Each structure stands twice: as C-alpha cells, then as structure tokens.
C-alpha cells in the first residue's frame, strides 16, 4: 500500500510517501521546520503543506511525540501544551481532508524496526528506545505493540530519566561517551529489572555511533542498534495507518 508517512519532531516535520509492503520511501523525504509555537492548528497546517508538496490525496500516518489514545493527544513533553486533550487525528484529518492515523513517534519507529529492521521475527519482549532530545520507547510482545510505553519518563536518580540520560543531555553537558554510556547503562539496567526484555534495540541519531558507547553497556538481554535509521519514524507512521485501515476492514 502507498501511504504518506509523517514524523512530527520538536524542530522539524518530515514526511514522504511510503511503500508499506517493502518498507521504503517512494520519494525523498521533505522537511519543514516545526512552527513556533507548535499549536495544533499551526502543526496541522504544516502537515497540509507537506501533503501538497507531494500532491498527496491518499491516507496518511503521523508519528507524534506524545501519548496518543484513539486519536486523542494526552501529553506534550516537547510540543505546545495546547495539544493536551486535543482530538489530534480529527484536527489533522479536517485540515488536510485526508484519512489520518496518529501514533506515538517511538511506537511508529518501533513498528518499522520490528517489521523490517533489527527486530524482524524477534519473539518475546522487545524494548526499542529512540535516543534523541528525549527518550522515546516502544514495547513489543511477540511482535505486537503495547502502545504508549513512555519509559523515558521513568524516575531515575530522583528525576525524569530523559532529563538525565538522553542524547540532548550528553551534548548539552558535554559528557564523554564513557560518562554518558554509564548513565545510559543505569537506565537500561532499571528497565531490565522491571520488564526482563529479550532484546533492546537502540534508535535515534546516536545509534549511528553505537560502537562509541556499546562497551559501557552491560545488560542481560542483547542490545542491537536500529537498522532503519532516519526513516523509521516515517515508515512506521505509514505502517500504523495501514494497521488501522485493515482493522476497519478497508485494508
Ligand atoms: C515523549 C514521548 C516521545 C519521546 C520521543 C518524550 O518526551 O513523552 O511521547 O515518544 O519524547 O520524542
């Protein structure tokens, strides 16, 4: 199926048409800076611009950095707080005139990674972590997504884990790989204590530098860097829309 995948981030909104059967982009991605403030209306209009850029008239999937329950936005850690309580899916659908599925951004990346990347055919419990401005997480049990896991907000050292162990913190506090790797290892150990995963997958920009910090990670479960890299969020958002379509008997 061809579905437009969109990934809303704190600084940019990216998208491209996706072939969901092969897990590839059909055209090069297009990026528009996230409007400031990133209100529901402003973001929905930016998504409409992206659709027009591709002259898109089909369904679209949208990854968004918040808890999304049945199309409703429940949190807003790195976007305008006016999103909280909004029927996000409906706003984007009304603004673009297209069928929309909205999902958490890390859940989207996880869907792509489990179908086409490092988690392909992986049974048991898998935790994928997107390491960036925050820590996004997605949880899978025998290949099925348990949505909105939000382990980036687990309490660690008396604070939100993502304010202590994200890549933004590494860069901002100029932490060495050893120092930051040690912190991230504490985070992984805490997750292991609670969830006993069979596999960790690490995504986000920093996963490209996996060999710089992998020596500092000591977990029971194996750890793999994500394979889909930059496009996971876009491809996974399209997959989420495909799943919604098939549940409605349309796919
Ligand atoms: C948000 C998550 C999101 C993650 C990555 C966190 O601050 O709470 O919903 O997945 O950032 O964008």
Instruction: Look at the pTM and tell me if it is higher than 0.85.
Output: yes
pLDDT at residue 250, as a whole number: 40
Task: Kindly report, residue by residue over 39-86, the tens digit of the pLDDT.
Answer: 999 999 999 999 999 999 999 999 999 999 999 999 998 899 999 999
Is residue 248 very low, low, confident or very high in pLDDT (cuts 50, 70, 90)? low
The Cα–Cα gap between 175 and 167 comes to 10
What separation in Å is there between the alpha carbon of 150 and the centre of ligand 1? 7
> How far apart are alpha carbons 152 and 149 in whole angstroms?
9
| HEC secondary structure over 230-246 | HHHHHHHHHHHHHHHHH
DSSP-derived 3-state class of residue 163:
helix
Convert the pLDDT of each residue in 144-183 to its tens digit: 999 999 999 999 999 999 999 999 999 999 999 999 999 9
- Indicate which residue's Cα is closest to atom 5 of ligand 1: 136
pLDDT band at 215 (very low <50, low <70, confident <90, very high): very high
Give 137 Cα–ligand 1 centroid separation in angstroms. 8
Within 6 A (CB) of ligand 1 lie 65-67, 75, 77-78, 104-106, 130, 134, 136, 150, 152, 162
| Atom 9, ligand 1: residue with shortest CA distance | 66
pLDDT at 244: 82
Task: State yes or no: pLDDT of 16 exceeds 90.
Answer: yes
Atom of ligand 1 nearest to the CA of 77: 7
Whether residue 251 has pLDDT greater than 60: no
Pocket test for ligand 1, best of 88, 134, 159, 163 (most atoms within 8 A of CB): 134
**132-150 CB burial, b ≥16 within 10 A, e <16:** bbbbbbbbbeeeebebbbb
Q: Is the dihedral of CA 167, 230, 137, 34 positive or negative?
A: positive
Cα(136) to ligand 1 centroid in Å equals 5
- Element containing residue 136 per DSSP (H, E): strand 135-141
Residue pLDDT, tens place only, 89-128: 999 999 999 999 999 999 999 999 999 999 999 999 999 9
């Amino acid at each position: 199926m061809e579905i437009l995948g969109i990934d809303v981030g704190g600084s940019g909104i990216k998208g491209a048409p996706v072939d969901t059967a092969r897990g590839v982009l059909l055209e090069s991605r297009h990026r528009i800076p996230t409007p400031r403030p990133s209100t529901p209306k402003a973001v929905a209009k930016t998504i409409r611009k992206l659709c027009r850029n591709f002259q898109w008239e089909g369904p679209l999937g949208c990854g968004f950095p918040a808890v999304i329950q049945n199309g409703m936005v429940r949190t807003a850690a790195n976007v305008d707080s006016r999103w909280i309580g909004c029927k996000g899916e409906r706003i984007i659908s009304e603004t673009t005139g297209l069928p929309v599925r909205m999902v958490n951004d890390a859940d989207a990346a996880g869907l792509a990674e489990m179908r086409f990347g490092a988690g392909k055919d992986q049974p048991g419990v898998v935790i994928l972590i997107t390491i960036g401005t925050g820590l996004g997480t997605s949880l899978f049990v025998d290949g099925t997504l348990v949505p909105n896991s939000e382990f980036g907000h687990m309490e660690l050292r008396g604070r939100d884990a993502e304010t202590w162990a994200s890549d933004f913190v590494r860069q901002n506090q100029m932490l060495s790989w050893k120092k930051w790797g040690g912190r991230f290892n504490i985070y992984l150990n805490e997750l292991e204590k609670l969830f006993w995963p069979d596999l960790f997958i690490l995504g986000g920009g920093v996963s490209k530098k996996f060999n710089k910090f992998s020596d500092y990670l000591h977990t029971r479960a194996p750890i793999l860097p994500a394979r889909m890299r930059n496009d996971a969020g876009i491809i996974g958002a399209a997959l989420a829309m495909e799943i919604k379509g098939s549940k409605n008997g349309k796919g």
